[in-house]
Structure 1
Amino acid sequence: MSANSGIIPDPIARQPWGMLIPLFLLVAFGAAVLYSAAGGRMDPFASSHLIRFSVFLVMASIIASLPRPFVRFMTYPAYVVVLVLLIGVEVIGNVRGGSQRWLDLGFMVLQPSELMKPVIVMVLAQFYASLPLSMLTGWRALIVPGALIAVPVAFVLLQPDLGTSLAIAFGGAVVMLLAGLPIKWFIGGGVAAVAAAPLLFFFALQDYQQRRVMTMFNPEADALGAGYHINQSKIAIGSGGIFGKGFNNGSQSHLEYLPEPQTDFVFATMAEEWGLVGGLFVLGIFTIILSWGLKVARDSRDRFASLVAAGMVATIFFYVAVNLMMVMGLAPVVGIPLPFMSHGGSSMMTNMICIGALMMVNRWNREAPRTGLS
């Protein structure tokens, strides 16, 4: 035991409790909301939510213990394995709700596209960490990472899964930006994306995806159809007021007006019962977790670790930002759950991988002093 830890063993004292305690509180709060969403029962949502978190917390602890050389060595093989799984989804994947996104491995049903979110961050961090700084302004710094992102995004769009494809692209783009690529390339890419948006809307999106985009601008135009989700979500959030209707007293979810109250619209379920106070609590917890992750990235002793940490923060942030905008009608309904609160194994797995990677980099930072990015 160290002098600073007193009677607390070092392995326990060294944990990032400033992040873990808020995370535990958020997961527990999510379980309470899921308990209410099920009509005052632990099953089927709250109990499985807590079990999944416990299992993936063990996984995150294992990730946190991995040595740097092993992680860097495994980045490209991991990318290839997940890419093969994505191809397998197209060949033998299970179809649910009109989408082909899952692989039945016998002992579990896996959604490989979820694994690609953290993996794309790792592989791009490894690429830029190995690339000389003098080559960051060359086309190789753009073309190779662009291809590494575009290939899995193309397979995910075939499923079709617009939300996950955007998440993969966002995480990859953040790593490219922080790696030091010329900002003019991103400005040019943004201009090109805006110019191509009409073509993508009419020729790349499915009919239901087009309706979701149009509904975002005028949900009242089809209040009982495409706009139903957003309208009911706004009603639930607005009716909560400042302090909410009280725990287990939400009418929108209990009377089944609010679709998917346990997954995509869990924030609306929470806001109806806990009001503005509950919403600020959730936002505050996410701010603490993401701020801690950014500090880990800033304190990282080398380029690879810094990019990994920043990319994992960006991945979690994408989930949070898109989900909150979605439930408030500021973004199309794209099936992005709220981390650590929504019921769902795939999203919990992805976000706990991100947490594990951040804990891993935090351990690297603690074990070796910062010597500058290289």
Structure 2
Amino acid sequence: MSSVVPAPIARQPWSMLFPLITLIAFGAAVLYSAAGGSMQPYAQSHLVRFALFLVMAAIMTRFSRQWVKFLAYPIYGIVLLLLVAVEAIGAIGGGSQRWLNLGFIVLQPSELMKPAIVLALARFYDTLPPGMTGSWRAIVPAGVLLFAPVCLVLLQPDLGTSLALIFGGAIVMFLAGLPLRWFVIGALGAAIAAPLAFFFGLQEYQQRRVFTFLDPESDPLGSGYHITQSKIAIGSGGLFGKGFNEGSQSHLNYLPEPHTDFVFATMAEEWGLIGGLVVIGIFVLILGWGLRVARQSSDRFASLLAAGMVATIFFYVVINLMMVMGLAPVVGIPLPFMSHGGSSMLTNMLCIGALMMVNSWNRSRRARSFSA
């Protein structure tokens, strides 16, 4: 087989790429339906973005470990400056100031910070001596790295992305070996501060989302409209769905944002429970591969980097699925590789590229061990 298939193609992680490409194609089919049976404006750009970012991910596999370590803090610093620029000159949409219009692209820097914070923290803990993981030197500098962008994102305001940053950072800190008592103390502190944050820190529309989550039927035509229509779409799909391009909730504009935040509901209406299980199963394959890459890494930096990228994608998937099923408040987090959106696709493909890069490092290490 090696004589037939070129080596650069043969050494790609096809156990992950085949499920990923399948998910992208399925997402394009759902977006085609969401547009009323047209490749424009969603499905075509979805496929083009994936193709471009897949090339980017393949290029990332050529980066050496030392080069990535060298770039970790500069990348974090650049994205942090972009977040500051959002506060100064960012474009406003939907009541939030989250985007930078660069002319050739409208960029959401908070999305880029998700992989950037994982990279910076992995670099920090790689240089920290193991004996210091129980001291303040393990938490204070890392806390500054994490909460500086979190505070900037909260100003936009964007609670969902802030929680994603905290989740990815916390996973890296936990796997780095920080004492469990610190996480327990942090969780207790968050529980105590939650009521104050709710009444004094959240915007009015964010408070309404929480109330709607607790009782969506109290205002089914107002604040509860999104989640009510989402559950109707998912439930009406039944076991096998209504059929491709036959979804009434999305086609008749009952379902809000059928191509972004609620794309899973669009899919479930037409493909039913079977389609939903297929999507979840593909995510399990992709994330499971990522975890194997993290476990097989021989050094601290690569292991933390890979695990953090898996955690970032995992947060996207779980929160979006819980959101569309009414198990979490609506926080505006798209479903990876299925929702339409350039910044989301870029972020998730950066995570995939980082995992492919670490996998390449693992392959090189095994090849050197075998030759030795």
**Is structure 2 residue 3 aligned with structure 1 residue 10?**
no
Name the amino acid aligned to 2:194. A
Match of 1:237 among 234, 237, 241: 234
Of 89-98 and 103-112, the range deviating more from structure 2: 103-112
Separation (CA, whole Å) in 1 of partners of 2:128 and 2:166: 21
The residue that corresponds to 2:254 in the other structure is 257
1:87-98 alignment, distance < 5 Å: 87-98=84-95
User: Aligned pairs, how many?
Assistant: 368
SS of 1:80's equivalent in the other structure is: helix
**Is structure 2 residue 170 aligned with structure 1 residue 173?**
yes
Match of 1:334 among 319, 331, 334: 331
Name the amino acid aligned to 1:193. A
**Is structure 2 residue 33 aligned with structure 1 residue 30?**
no
1:98-247 alignment, distance < 5 Å: 98-247=95-244
TM-score (norm 1): 0.97
The residue that corresponds to 2:39 in the other structure is 42
Name the amino acid aligned to 1:256. N
Name the amino acid aligned to 2:91. N
Separation (CA, whole Å) in 2 of partners of 1:63 and 1:303: 19
Name the amino acid aligned to 2:115. P
Cα deviation 1:113-161 (Å, max 9, x = unaligned): 1110000000000000000000000011011111111000000111111
Separation (CA, whole Å) in 1 of partners of 2:300 and 2:6: 32
Match of 1:322 among 305, 319, 325: 319
SS of 2:99's equivalent in the other structure is: strand
Name the amino acid aligned to 2:220. A
Cα deviation 1:209-234 (Å, max 9, x = unaligned): 00001111110011111110000000
Separation (CA, whole Å) in 2 of partners of 1:143 and 1:49: 40
Q: CA deviation at 1:281?
A: 0.4
SS of 1:333's equivalent in the other structure is: coil
Q: CA deviation at 1:61?
A: 1.0
Separation (CA, whole Å) in 2 of partners of 1:233 and 1:108: 30
TM-score (norm 2): 0.98
The residue that corresponds to 2:365 in the other structure is 368
The residue that corresponds to 2:56 in the other structure is 59
Separation (CA, whole Å) in 1 of partners of 2:100 and 2:260: 21
Q: CA deviation at 1:193?
A: 0.7
Cα deviation 1:298-324 (Å, max 9, x = unaligned): 000100000000000000000000000
SS of 1:256's equivalent in the other structure is: coil
Cα deviation 1:313-358 (Å, max 9, x = unaligned): 0000000000000000011100000000000001000000000000
CA RMSD in angstroms, aligned pairs only: 1.0
Q: CA deviation at 1:5?
A: 2.0
SS of 1:368's equivalent in the other structure is: helix
Match of 1:274 among 258, 271, 291: 271
Separation (CA, whole Å) in 1 of partners of 2:166 and 2:50: 26
Q: CA deviation at 1:235?
A: 0.4
The residue that corresponds to 1:69 in the other structure is 66
What is the identity percentage for the equivalent residue pairs of Structure 1 and Structure 2?
A: 71
Q: CA deviation at 1:106?
A: 2.3
Q: CA deviation at 1:6?
A: 3.3
Q: CA deviation at 1:198?
A: 0.3
SS of 1:77's equivalent in the other structure is: helix
Match of 1:308 among 305, 309, 317: 305
Separation (CA, whole Å) in 1 of partners of 2:101 and 2:218: 40
Match of 2:284 among 269, 276, 287: 287
Q: CA deviation at 1:37?
A: 0.4
Q: CA deviation at 1:7?
A: 1.4
Name the amino acid aligned to 1:143. V
Separation (CA, whole Å) in 1 of partners of 2:344 and 2:102: 18
The residue that corresponds to 1:78 in the other structure is 75
Cα deviation 1:72-109 (Å, max 9, x = unaligned): 00001111111111000111111111111111222222
Q: CA deviation at 1:70?
A: 0.6
SS of 2:264's equivalent in the other structure is: helix
**Is structure 2 residue 350 aligned with structure 1 residue 357?**
no
Name the amino acid aligned to 2:199. F
SS of 1:41's equivalent in the other structure is: coil
Separation (CA, whole Å) in 2 of partners of 1:108 and 1:347: 13
Separation (CA, whole Å) in 1 of partners of 2:299 and 2:154: 34
SS of 1:101's equivalent in the other structure is: strand
Structure 2, unpaired ranges of 5+: none
